[in-house]
Amino acid sequence: MSIGVGIIGAGIMGADHARILAGQVAGAHLVAISDADEARAKSIAAETGAKRGVNDPMGLINDPAIGAVLIASPDATHPDFAMACIKAGRHVLCEKPLAPTAAEGLKVIEAELSTGRRLVQLGYMRRFDPGYAEMRQSLQSGRFGEALAMHCVHRNATAPSYFTSAMAIVSSCGHEVDVSRWVLSAELTSVHVFKARRSKLSHFDDPMLVVFETDKGQLVDVELFLNAQYGYDVKGELVCETGTVSLMPPADTVVRSTLATSTGLAPDWRPRFADAYRIQNQAWINSIRSGSPTGSSAWDGYVATTVTDAGVKSLETGQTVQISYEKKPALYA
């Protein structure tokens, strides 16, 4: 039986999700798309075959034809929409972050806890990227012994003009926080942010090097470089006792031309993680049918915010910052 899906937000991410759900995911159909710009909602609805485009997120959440809601609206609206969905008993795939602050995130968690079941999945799509999944599986196979360290690189071609150093940590590094915890099955306990020489092409501290320690003693280092100019590039290497596993950047062809052999790089994260988004959205639909939640939880969203808040403090003080968390509820065990 096909799941009726509603999407809140018809911006770049919401529109992409609509196309993925309508064109690449089995077992779902789009019922409604809501956006503050109703014309945009209608346009994406028409393109993707959704029944209607509206400017009515609460109506969408409470529509009985809709069993699952994908939240891709502005960050600040995430917690309220998520809580409304929980109240209405809707399954939720919420684009990251869960909430602008850890405190707001905890409210969503309380709401979810009060229902006694997991309804919320966070859109940290990298857990569904075949590369990270294979990296994690390699570790769990025991083939290379224990994991000791993980190197990450996160580069964007250009950052939006409103970005700040703190936003680089909160917004971009959140992905590495989530996926390194998942790959390592570990929690991050401290963070130290180093500023590199600032690129003339950036208006904030860029690049930076962020060094985390985990509760297993592992190191996770992340180069954040959001105005790297040359393209979108994500690298990862898991260092284990007898071998290492690195992400292979996706490329379909190799070109020989003008004195070089080359493979292409994506201009932004959407083509780079196209498989991850598709697999994530399919897994979300499947999890609704099967009842077994998958992917990042609301708790993982709270953790990401808590870690990146500590990162911002380290950025400001230049010191190593210890990270502390609320007690993890059993629902998220």
Q: Does 139 bind its own copies (CB under 8 A)?
A: no
Q: Does 253 bind its own copies (CB under 8 A)?
A: yes
Pairing of strands 233-240, 147-155: antiparallel
User: H or E stretch including 23?
Assistant: helix 12-23
We find the least distance from the C-beta atom of residue 20 to its own copies, in angstroms, to be 9
CB atoms within 10 A of CB 190: 16
We find the least distance from the C-beta atom of residue 15 to its own copies, in angstroms, to be 16
We find the least distance from the C-beta atom of residue 321 to its own copies, in angstroms, to be 14
Rounded Cα distance, 68 and 31, in Å: 10
We find the least distance from the C-beta atom of residue 233 to its own copies, in angstroms, to be 6
Q: Does 252 bind its own copies (CB under 8 A)?
A: yes
The amino acid present at 87, given as its one-letter code, is: K
Cβ atoms of residues 65 and 4 within 8 Å: yes
Rounded Cα distance, 228 and 157, in Å: 5
User: Closer CB to its own copies, residue 85 or residue 150?
Assistant: 150
Q: Does 290 bind its own copies (CB under 8 A)?
A: no
- The residue within the footprint of its own copies, chosen from 115, 185, 263, 290 (CB under 8 A), is 263
Q: Does 317 bind its own copies (CB under 8 A)?
A: no
Pairing of strands 120-122, 296-297: antiparallel
- The residue within the footprint of its own copies, chosen from 114, 141, 261, 324 (CB under 8 A), is 261
Q: Is 44 helix (H, G, I), strand (E, B) or coil?
A: helix
User: Closer CB to its own copies, residue 151 or residue 313?
Assistant: 151
Rounded Cα distance, 96 and 77, in Å: 11
User: Closer CB to its own copies, residue 107 or residue 235?
Assistant: 235
User: Closer CB to its own copies, residue 108 or residue 226?
Assistant: 226
Rounded Cα distance, 51 and 103, in Å: 36
Q: Does 259 bind its own copies (CB under 8 A)?
A: yes
Q: Does 145 bind its own copies (CB under 8 A)?
A: yes
Rounded Cα distance, 98 and 75, in Å: 8
Q: Does 292 bind its own copies (CB under 8 A)?
A: no
Q: Does 260 bind its own copies (CB under 8 A)?
A: yes
Q: Does 25 bind its own copies (CB under 8 A)?
A: yes
Number of residues this chain uses to bind its own copies (CB under 8 A): 81
Query: For residues 175-194, which are near its own copies according to CB under 8 A?
Result: 192, 194
Query: For residues 208-237, which are near its own copies according to CB under 8 A?
Result: 209, 211, 213-214, 216-219, 221, 223, 225, 228-231, 233
Question: Mind giving me the DSSP string for 281-314?
Answer: HHHHHHHHHH----SEEHHHHHHHHHHHHHHHHH
Q: Does 15 bind its own copies (CB under 8 A)?
A: no
User: Closer CB to its own copies, residue 76 or residue 201?
Assistant: 201
Q: What is the DSSP letter of 32?
A: E
Q: Please give the backbone phi and psi of residue 284, each rounded to the nearest 5 degrees, phi first.
A: -65, -50
Rounded Cα distance, 168 and 304, in Å: 13
We find the least distance from the C-beta atom of residue 77 to its own copies, in angstroms, to be 28
Q: Does 204 bind its own copies (CB under 8 A)?
A: no
Between the alpha carbon of residue 326 and those of residues 99, 103, 106, 303, the distances in Å are 16, 10, 9, 9
